[in-house]
Structure 1
Amino acid sequence: MKKLLYIGWVGFNNLGDELLWNIFKETCGKYLNQDQIEMTPSVPGVDLKNLEKYDTVVLGGGSLLLPGYLQILQNALHKGKSVIIWGTGLDWIGKENLDLLLNDKLNSLEQNFKQKDIDVLDEVIEGALFVGVRGPLTKKAIEIMLGKEKADKVQIIGDPGLLLQKPDSNSSTQKDKVIGMNWGTTFNRLYGGNELLVEEQLVETAKALINSGYKIMIYIVWADDIPSCERLYDKINDPENVVLDKNLYTENELIEKLSRCTGTINFKLHANFLSFTADVPAIALGYRFKVFDFAASAGLQHLVVSTDSQQLAKELLERVEIIENSETAIIDQFHSIKKKFEPLLESIFTKNLL
């Protein structure tokens, strides 16, 4: 029996990271017999420095292309273990550097990776059995650090969230005139550096949507987001037209909930995947690099509004109008991307790399 370590931000009740682990586990179950493989997720208490008992180390979905995690993979390679990078991506790249990257003008990522970190990245990519990253901006950043030739091994396979499936019972849900609104906190580590300012713009957006006939459903994907959502609810101050749902659902439960919405506006990245899986167009608050990476992989850049926008409410309302006019085209686009990336995400299983 092979022993596998799955590295992710697991065990902290953040639905986005938990669903990525669940997807990995379920896909293993789809292709591998349970007696073939023993999987250990990197929950708190698992010693990531002691890799002796594992045959394979998988860096899973999330924003885990960070020096600390790369050093764990380097350690695994030095111990003769197989290493797989599966659907992870970069994050924490500043807005100025993001803009330069989008315009092919970025020459260095020294703010995020020192030369010693780049050397580790180089060794890990060279030694890994498979390197699949979340989106084209992550691959572009790796090319800047390592050069295009060394980055050739890096495949864009999409975010594992693309493997989410709509529950069968959800096939023909009647939609209501409701906008789902996912809000929360990242402790001000967002583009613009001011969550309260974004919150005020969301209040303005919600009030304008209510005036045009919508109801609002505020929802969470992480328990730490509850205080922010309570504050947003209180500021909108319209209990007749606004529901605050403080339940932390499973991914399938939340897909069911969202399927009744006309559209969603989402702070956390994987809230967008849950919405699209429910066949509900999602507007993403571009609060960090990872949101733009996902949008670029899916061809949905026009539905992202950066949190440093000087007219955030106006831009969000314009995106709602796009959803109203182009719902079918947006959902078709998501399904075409899903169809493209599913076999790439499943290739580590179908090609027996585990």
Structure 2
Amino acid sequence: MKKILYIGWIGFGNLGDELLWHIFKDLSNYYLNQEEIKIIPSLPDLDIQNIEPYDAIVLGGGSLLLPGYIEILYKAIERQKEIFIWGSGIDWIDKEELDLILLGKAPCLEKLSPEREAAILRETFAKAKFAGVRGPLTKQVLASLGANSKNIQIIGDPGLLLETQDIPNIKNQEKIVGINWGTTYDRLYGQNEIEVEDALVNVSKNLIKQGYKILIYTVWAADSPSCQRLFEKINSPENVKFDDTLYNEQELMSQLSSCSMTINFKLHANLLSLATHVPCIPLGYRFKVFDLAYLLGLEKYIVSTDAPLLDINILERVKLIEDNHSEILKQFRLTQKYYNHKLLEPFQNQFKWQD
């Protein structure tokens, strides 16, 4: 039996990473011959540095193109094991470098990946049996680090495979804006979560004046105190609900189905919203959010967390969504259709590739 190690940031209660594993597991159960292939997830009690028991390694969805994980893949290559990269992305690019990338200029990435690490990364992508990354900005950074673009394909975030189950597409009479808030311990563009939070307070009060209700929701236990604080700052309990339940992906999509739109801090809250036919405003707090927005072709709806007049910027996107609701959902469906077969390819091939 072929043993495949799935590497993801799982077992820590973060909904985004957990749903990526759930998608991988469900696809494995559906497509793979269970008598020939066994998938082992990288749960916290598993030593992923010990790769000897496995025939192949899959680096899964999430911002996992990091030196530590790349070292594991490189070690696997040295031991003649097969490696696959399935929807992984890059994060932790400084805003100044992101701005250069968006202008089509070469960023300075020495801090991100010194030469030895860059060399290992290039070799890893050259030797991978399948190398599919999350988005166009990830591919651009890899190319800037010297990876051969021919060895890399954009397959999209695996969250594109999310499908609603038995969720009626019926909107409430009330207009509701869902707001996903949380913390990244000030590791965000602008380095000041409280400023972003206060902007969301202003946005919420403005939306309430426009006749909207607000639903504050969380996707990770550590985010709950920030959401509670946002709820208290808005100080309008008759118009604002804070739901601190930690739902799974299907349960949360059911909750979001009543919304007119969402404003989201965490990355996969955006895909959960769109999969539920609800347009979203991604808060661009780090590189990965821009990577996803450009993948979806919805980059004009993103707002960087270091933007001056952040509240005004968000309200402008609200108006843009109100005017372009159906076009946004059409664009998302086209993106899903384009990338879904790319995401399914490794499973349809039973994780077997000819050299």
TM-score category of the 2 structures, normalised to the smaller one: over 0.9
The equivalent position to 2:169 in structure 1, one of 160, 169, 172, is 172
1:133-171 superposed Cα distances (whole Å, 9 cap, x missing partner): 000000011111115xx221100000000000011x214
Q: Does 2:223 correspond to 1:228? A: no
1:235-280 superposed Cα distances (whole Å, 9 cap, x missing partner): 0011000000000001000011001000000000000000000000
Q: Does 2:139 correspond to 1:159? A: no
**Unaligned residue ranges in structure 1 (runs of 5+):** none
Secondary structure at the aligned position of 1:85 is classed as strand
Between the aligned partners of 2:195 and 2:107, the Cα distance in structure 1 is: 32
Q: 1:107 to 1:247 in 2, by over 3 A?
A: closer
Secondary structure at the aligned position of 1:54 is classed as coil
Aligned twin of 2:317: 319
Aligned twin of 2:60: 60
Q: Does 2:331 correspond to 1:303? A: no
Aligned twin of 1:27: 27
Aligned length: 351
Between the aligned partners of 2:169 and 2:17, the Cα distance in structure 1 is: 28
TM-score (normalised: structure 2): 0.97
Q: Does 2:8 correspond to 1:11? A: no
**What is the identity percentage for the equivalent residue pairs of Structure 1 and Structure 2?**
52
CA contact (8 A) 1:108 1:145 kept: no
Aligned twin of 1:95: 95
1:112-131 aligned within 5 A: 112-131=112-131
Aligned twin of 1:105: 105
Q: What's the CA shift for 1:215?
A: 0.3
Between the aligned partners of 2:123 and 2:106, the Cα distance in structure 1 is: 23
Secondary structure at the aligned position of 1:290 is classed as helix
The equivalent position to 1:292 in structure 2, one of 270, 290, 293, is 290
- Tell me whether 129-138 or 73-82 shows the greater mean CA deviation: 73-82
Letter in 1 for 2:198: E
TM-score (normalised: structure 1): 0.97
Q: What's the CA shift for 1:106?
A: 2.1
CA contact (8 A) 1:143 1:151 kept: yes
Secondary structure at the aligned position of 1:170 is classed as coil
Moved over 3 A (4+): none
Between the aligned partners of 1:106 and 1:288, the Cα distance in structure 2 is: 19
Between the aligned partners of 2:195 and 2:108, the Cα distance in structure 1 is: 31
Between the aligned partners of 1:73 and 1:210, the Cα distance in structure 2 is: 50
Q: What's the CA shift for 1:174?
A: 2.3
The equivalent position to 1:252 in structure 2, one of 250, 253, 270, is 250
CA contact (8 A) 1:182 1:219 kept: yes
Q: What's the CA shift for 1:107?
A: 4.1
Letter in 2 for 1:174: K
**Unaligned residue ranges in structure 2 (runs of 5+):** none
Aligned twin of 2:41: 41
Aligned twin of 1:333: 331
